[in-house]
Amino acid sequence: MTNNMNNATMMKAVVFHRYGPPETLSLQEVPIPNPAAGEVRVRVHASTVGRTDTTTLRAHPFFARAMTGYFRPRMQTLGMDFAGVVDALGDGVSAFQVGDRVFGLSTDQYGAHAEYFCTPADEAITRIPEGISFSEAVVGEGAWYANSTTKHLRAGERILVYGASGAVGTAAVQLAKARGAEVTAVVGERHLSMAEQLGADRIVNYEEEDFTAIGEVFDIVFDAVGKTSWFACRPLLGKQGKFAATDLGPCWSNLLLGAWFGVTGSQRVRIPFPDDAPGFIVELARLMAEGKFRGVFDRSYELDEIVEAFRYVETEQKTGIVGIKIP
Average of pLDDT values for 75-99?
A: 97
> Is the pLDDT reported for residue 6 higher than 60?
no
Q: What is the pLDDT of residue 269?
A: 80
Name the band, by pLDDT with cuts 50, 70 and 90, for residue 66: confident
Name the band, by pLDDT with cuts 50, 70 and 90, for residue 266: low
Name the band, by pLDDT with cuts 50, 70 and 90, for residue 144: very high
> Is the pLDDT reported for residue 326 higher than 90?
yes
Higher pLDDT, 251 or 275: 275
DSSP E strand stretches across the chain: 3-4, 10-15, 26-31, 39-49, 81-89, 101-105, 116-120, 125-127, 158-162, 182-187, 202-205, 218-223, 237-245, 269-270, 297-302, 321-325
- Give me the chain's average pLDDT, please: 92
What's the fold here for domain 3-139+295-325? Quinone Oxidoreductase; Chain A, domain 1 (3.90.180)
Pick the CATH number of 146-270 from 3.20.20.70, 3.40.50.720, 3.90.1150.10, 3.40.309.10: 3.40.50.720
Average of pLDDT values for 44-58?
A: 96
Domain boundary assignment for the chain: 3-139+295-325, 146-270
- pTM, two decimals, is 0.92
Name the band, by pLDDT with cuts 50, 70 and 90, for residue 1: very low
